[in-house]
Amino acid sequence: MDVLLQQVVNGLMLGGVYVMVAVAFTLVIGMLNFLNFTIPALFMVAAVMMWAAMAGGFGADIDAVLDDVLGAPNKWIAGVIIALVVVSLASLVIERFTYRYMKAKYGDATEHALPLVSSLGFLIAFEHLVIGRWGSDPLTIDSPFGNASFHLGAVQFSIPQVISLALSLAIVFGLSLMLRKTRLGRAVRSIAERPDTATLMGVDVGRIVPVVYVIAGLLCAIAGILFTINYTTVDAYIGDKVATVAIAGMVLGGLGNVWGAIVGGLFVGLLEVLSIHFFGASIVKVPIWGMLLLILVMRPTGLFGHTAIGKGKF
């Protein structure tokens, strides 16, 4: 029983990572009806930047500078900053190539599959940039926080993991509040429903879209940072592995629904860990994708969604 309880806790902790990636997906889908495949890439880039800062991946010179300025145990701080900056800049570049230029050339580009295809291109390009620089083998670090943990009964709680889960939920709640209560949030929701009418209200859609790309990118970046700290092993394909599960979580919750993404993300984390516990790691994808297929057949709107595919559902 204690073992099972421990697995439930581990599953929820892992789910915290999925929640943020699922919300990043759902934000872009909700607003632009666009399944953005650069999200796995941004998650991976942040995770690898985190690894590189801590494990000397940027080369001996930069590593020596980081040692001098921050000291060896604090190099993770540099990782956080580098990951956030790199992902923000990458998000702006991606926005130009998956949305802005397409819209300028083809009108409402979201009506086409073009953004989807160009985002897949970005995913592959980013993965190969990382492979070209650091190879495709697993990249590992020593956890910067050791095995800091506490016990409740027989169940062990890793302190970094608890902080990570709390942080991801706090960020997502904050984002939901922003969407509900602020001027920017109303603008995002109005673009989601009727971009042309939003323009008539004086909303400069071309200025809001990059902001949303950066917000989605930062969610992935924070998830990637937390992943590296807590699970200490990353590689160039970590984005695929994590983000595909996050997509399953998002669909479970309902596309474009932030609350659904929270529940769905936590659920797939739980499902993954429990599947490994009961059936072994080799077939863990089967229960997750089996659940996804069942959901799509029986309730294509997900648990909390309004429509299967479409815009305007925050």
Partner 1 sequence: MLLEVAGLDVRYGRTRAVRGMDLTLDSGEIVTVLGANGAGKTSLLKALQGIVRLAAGRIRFDGADVTGWSAPRRVRGGLTLVPEGRQIFVSLTVHENLQMGAYSRSDPVDAEIEEIYDRFPNLAARRDMSASVLSGGEQQMLAISRALLSKPKLLMLDEPSLGLSPLLVIELFDLIKALNRDGLSILLVEQNTHMALQAAHRGYVLELGAAVISGTPEDLVNEEQKLEAAYLGGG
User: Which positions lie near partner 1, rule CB under 8 A?
Assistant: 183, 186-187, 189-190, 192-194, 196-204, 312-314
Judged by beta carbon, residue 56 or residue 312, the one nearer partner 1 is 312
Q: Which H helix or E strand runs over 155? A: strand 155-158
Q: Which two tokens stand for residue 21?
A: 């990636």
Q: How far apart are CA 108 and CA 123, in angstroms?
A: 23
Judged by beta carbon, residue 96 or residue 181, the one nearer partner 1 is 181
Judged by beta carbon, residue 198 or residue 271, the one nearer partner 1 is 198
- The partner residues of 149 in beta bridges, in order of sequence, read 158
Tokens 């590992």, residue located: 140
Rounded least distance, CB 189 to partner 1, Å: 6
Rounded least distance, CB 306 to partner 1, Å: 9
Q: How far apart are CA 217 and CA 236, in angstroms?
A: 17
Judged by beta carbon, residue 84 or residue 178, the one nearer partner 1 is 178
Rounded least distance, CB 29 to partner 1, Å: 14
Q: Which two tokens stand for residue 204?
A: 């400069």
Q: Are 61 and 235 in contact (CB under 8 A)?
A: no
Rounded least distance, CB 261 to partner 1, Å: 17
Rounded least distance, CB 257 to partner 1, Å: 11
User: What amino acid occupies position 253?
Assistant: G
Judged by beta carbon, residue 193 or residue 240, the one nearer partner 1 is 193
Rounded least distance, CB 193 to partner 1, Å: 5
Judged by beta carbon, residue 2 or residue 111, the one nearer partner 1 is 111
Tokens 């797939």, residue located: 268
Q: How far apart are CA 6 and CA 294, in angstroms?
A: 28
Listed in sequence order, the DSSP H helices in 56-203 are 60-70, 75-95, 101-106, 114-134, 159-181, 183-193, 195-200
